[in-house]
Structure 1
Amino acid sequence: MKLVIDRADLLKPLAALNRIVERRTTIPILANVLLRAEGGRLNLAATDLDIWAEASVPAAVGEPGALTVPAATLNDIARKLPDGCQIELAAEAGGARLSVKAGRSRFVLQALPVDDWPDVSADDLPHQFALPAKTLQRILAHTTFAISTEETRYYLNGIHLHADGEGLLNAVATDGHRLAHLTVPLPEGAADMPGIIVPRKTVGEIARLVADAEGDIDIAVSRAKVRFVVGGITLTSKLIDGTFPDYQRVIPTSNDRVAVLDTATVKDAVARVATITGENGRAVKMEFAPGVLTLSVSNADTGEAREEIEADFEGEPLAIGFNGRYLAEVLGIAASDTVRLALADPGSPCLIKSHESADALIVLMPMRV
């Protein structure tokens, strides 16, 4: 294998693929990136056996061939080389090493043969559709924070996507303490897709890939895998094999005490009263009354904090507590200047919506204060 490639053409896909590989794997080749030169292109691939990422970039191929080299090392080399340089990649010692040259810099990396590369069969992904990049960005921004990190309830360790009978694609995540739900118009081709759970690591990688993307993102789904095509990078992932709980039953439908708050004002107030403890996870007490919301934190060891802000509140006065960190996260993703809190009693979940987003909601469980 021998080729010359522009640094920028190599670095962008290599950086994305480098995030896939496992640093502490017991299978050495899984720490490598597969390089295959053919037909004026350099094809790259990386996998951790749960996620497969592939990319193809233009290159001046002198000799076709393939080998695998440590992904992190090659990425570091490309990242530290000067902008605009041309990089020459050449196999040495019968494919046992890769020479990397740019200007007066030269590196030699140990390689592993492609014969040991995991065989990734091209599974049939029958349900294919496209989502605008902005729509996918919104789905991820609204739901990712609520994904559970508790491995015992593995079926909560991702975002649940499913079509309903009302022409909507539903996205939901929950960790049992908060639930985020968003609906978008059902794209053509997705009506018969099965309900899937996209794993947390895959969600994180897709979020990075689509952060600056434009246009449509091609998505393909089966019962076992999902594939995203973003900006020349194809990412295929296993799905979580489990049943997502019936989340609809925990979404309140009759909370009749309603508060409308200025998002920035209440977010800043929560941050200030939480200062007294230095622990974002402590309960923040919220006392609602006509025209005013009082936030307070009390700790026997450090002291107390209290702040009043204006609130448009309807209903009987109510005192309720919420995890301070969770409350701050919810307010941080609010998509409008005001948020609407629908409450029932101190022990019941709160329904939170941005005033301008009828298709998005968050359910937050209370804490005892």
Structure 2
Amino acid sequence: MKLNVGRNELLGALSAVIGVVERRQTLPILSNFLLELQEDQLVVSGTDLEIELQARAQVENLTPGRATVPARKLYDICRGLPEGADLTLEVSGDKATLRSGRSRYSLACLKPDEFPAMGSLTDDIALTVPQHGLKILIERTQFAMAQQDVRYYLNGTLFEVSAERLRAVATDGHRLALSDLAADTGVAETQQIIVPRKAVLELQRLLDNTEEPVTLKIGGGQLQVDLDVIRLTTKLIDGRFPDYERVVPDNGDKRLEAPRETVRRALARTAILSNEKFRGVRLTLSTNKLVLQTHNPEHEEAEEELEVQYDGTPLEIGFNVNYLLDALGALVSDAFVMDLRNPDASGLIQAPEDGSSRYVVMPMRL
């Protein structure tokens, strides 16, 4: 295999795929890229057996073929070469030689036949949405995913596809994030899939804030996402996601409305003196007034008093301050509303006139 390629073109493909290659691997082949030369395109593949990433780069094809090369080493070499440099990559036997100007690098290769493939995907469902729409869905929900929870079905995001919308839901059992994207999916019956945490975060990294289309194909326990020259394929989590609609409160009789950024900054300041382990903040509500209070084992305290819109009965309730900060950070509106019922009931946070993104936070005793 032999090809000529610009450094920027090759680096773009390597950068798209490198995120799925773990630094420590049980199988040596998983620390390699698979390179496949097809006509005037080089296809770069990487996998961790759960997720497969592929990216294409325009090249000058001198001798077609397949090869594997050490992923991190090739990526670091290309990144360190001058901007706009021209490269020649030649693979012969178990050696790959990379040349650029007067520089030469020789890398050890493994047999390409050993590189694992994800297997073919049965295309049961296919839909197309704008890249920025899918990116926003992920950004507004991914922070609520669990991490290494024994309830494995929480270590990812639920994507629910119905006829007129794509919905993302994430929860770690203490808070829940939900966001909707209007889309003409063409799906007759509502379908649910759970996408693993790592695949969700890779998608967030790869998606652009553009109107360019992204195609999602679901089938055979896999999700395939096509973004122009990049393709992500991931296994899905086989489990039953909690009935999230039962968790979203709809009977709050007390409503707080306030400037989002003002409250977010006040929470960030009071969080400095919160208990580092429990991260609790007390919210005390009275007519048009909100008081935030935190304290820690060093007997340090913080208190912020804010003017808000509230005409319900007085209420004291505790929350994890990080959960409130995450929810307010995900909203983009100038103001937010928080529906409450009593100190033992979850709070619901959303924009005043837009329920497309909703955040449920469980209370905590302080």
TM-score category by the smaller chain?
over 0.9
Tell me which residue corresponds to 1:29.
29
Alpha-carbon deviations, 1:100-124, whole Å to 9, x = none? 0111111000001112111432221
Q: Encode CA deviations 1:74-126: one digit per residue, 9 max, x unaligned.
A: 0001100001111100013xx20000011111100000111211143222122
Match of residue 216, structure 2, among 219, 222, 230 = 219
**Letter matched to residue 97 of structure 2:** S
Aligned residue pairs, count: 366
Q: Which residue number in structure 2 is paired with residue 7 of structure 1? A: 7
**More deviation, 345-354/290-299:** 290-299
> What's 1:272 paired with?
269
Gap change, CA 1:223 and 1:35, over 3 Å in 2 = closer
Counterpart CA distance in 2 for 1:200 and 1:55 is 21
Which residue of structure 2 lines up, in the alignment, with residue 206 of structure 1? 203
- Counterpart residue number, 2:232: 235
Deviates more, 1:136-145 or 1:348-357: 348-357
Pair 1:49 & 2:52 matched? no
8 Å CA contact 1:146–1:179 kept in 2: the answer is: yes
> Contact 1:291/1:313 (CA < 8 Å) preserved in 2?
yes
Change (3 A) 1:5 1:358: same
Q: 1:321 to 1:120 in 2, by over 3 A?
A: closer
Provide structure 1 residue ranges, at least 5 long, that are not aligned to the other structure.
none
TM-score, normalised to structure 1's length? 0.95
Deviation at 1:215, TM superposition (A): 1.3
Residue 301 of structure 1 corresponds to 298
Structure 1 segment 316-331 matched on structure 2, within 5 A: 316-331=313-328
Q: Any idea what SS the aligned residue of 1:24 has?
A: coil
Task: Classify 1:102/1:127 alpha carbon distance in 2 versus 1 (closer, same or farther; 3 Å).
Answer: same
Quick one: which amino acid aligns to residue 330 of structure 1?
A: A
Give the equivalent residue in structure 1 for 2:153: 155
- SS of residue in 2 equivalent to 1:267: helix
Residue 116 of structure 1: which of 87, 100, 114 is its match?
A: 114
Tell me the CA shift for residue 38 of structure 1: 2.9
Q: How far apart in 2 are the matches of 1:189 and 1:282?
A: 44
Q: Relative to 1, partners in 2 of residues 1:251 and 1:223: Cα closer, same or farther, differing over 3 Å?
A: farther
- Is 1:358 matched with 2:365? no
* Larger deviation, residues 338-347 vs 48-57: 48-57
Query: Residues 106 and 356 from structure 1, CA distance in 2 versus in 1: closer, same or farther, beyond 3 angstroms?
Result: farther
Residues of 1 paired with 2:361 and 2:37: CA distance?
A: 52
Map of 1:337 onto structure 2: 334
Contact 2:162 2:191 in 1 (8 A): no
The answer to whether the Cα contact below 8 Å between 2:274 and 2:280 also exists between their aligned partners in 1 is no
- 1:291 CA drift (Å): 1.1
Structure 2 CA distance, aligned partners of 1:71 and 1:53?
13
**C-alpha distance in 2 between matches for 1:178 and 1:37:** 47
Q: Which amino acid aligns with 1:366?
A: P
Change (3 A) 1:98 1:266: same
- Is 1:86 the counterpart of 2:86? The answer is yes
Shift of 1:164: 4.3
Q: 1:223 to 1:64 in 2, by over 3 A?
A: closer
CA deviation profile, 1:4-54 (whole Å, cap 9, x unmatched) = 001111001101211111221111101100111231221111111111111
- 2:182 paired residue among 182, 185, 188: 185
Letter in 2 for 1:134: H
Partner residue of 2:173?
176
Q: Which residue of the partner structure matches residue 106 of structure 1?
A: 104
- Displacement after TM superposition at 1:213 (Å): 4.5
Q: Is the 8 A contact 1:280 1:325 kept in 2?
A: no
8 Å Cα contact 1:276/1:302 also seen in 2: no
Contact in 2 for aligned 1:259/1:311 (Cα 8 Å): yes
In the other structure, the counterpart of 1:68 is: 68
User: Cα offset for 1:137?
Assistant: 1.3
Q: Structure 1 counterpart of 2:104, which letter? A: R
- Report the Cα distance in structure 1 between the residues aligned to 2:109 and 2:295, rounded to whole angstroms: 59
Query: Which residue type is aligned with residue 200 of structure 1?
Result: R
Kept in 1, the 8 Å contact 2:121–2:220? The answer is no
Write out per-residue CA displacement over residues 308-328 of structure 1, whole angstroms, 9 at most, x where no aligned residue. Answer: 001101311101011111111
- State the match for 2:192 in structure 1: 195
> 1:281 touches 1:324 (CA, 8 Å); kept in 2?
no
Task: Give the whole-Å Cα distance in 1 for the aligned partners of 2:220 and 2:64.
Answer: 36
Query: Any idea what the Cα deviations from partners look like across 1:307-349, whole Å, max 9, x if unmatched?
Result: 1001101311101011111111111111201110000000100
Contact kept? 1:322, 1:365, Cα under 8 Å:
yes
Identity of aligned residues (%): 38
Please give the alpha-carbon distance, in whole angstroms, between the structure 1 residues aligned to 2:89 and 2:116.
Answer: 23
Retained in 2: the 8 A contact 1:150–1:157?
Answer: yes
1:277 positional shift: 3.8
For structure 1, which segment, 189-198 or 22-31, has the greater mean C-alpha deviation from structure 2 after superposition? Answer: 189-198
8 Å contact kept, 1:196–1:223: no
Q: Is the 8 A contact 1:194 1:222 kept in 2?
A: no
Name which of structure 1's ranges 300-309 and 23-32 shifts more when overlaid on structure 2.
300-309
Cα distance in 1 for residues equivalent to 2:83 and 2:210: 23
The unaligned stretches of length 5 or more in structure 2 are none
- In 1, Cα distance between equivalents of 2:182 and 2:207: 19
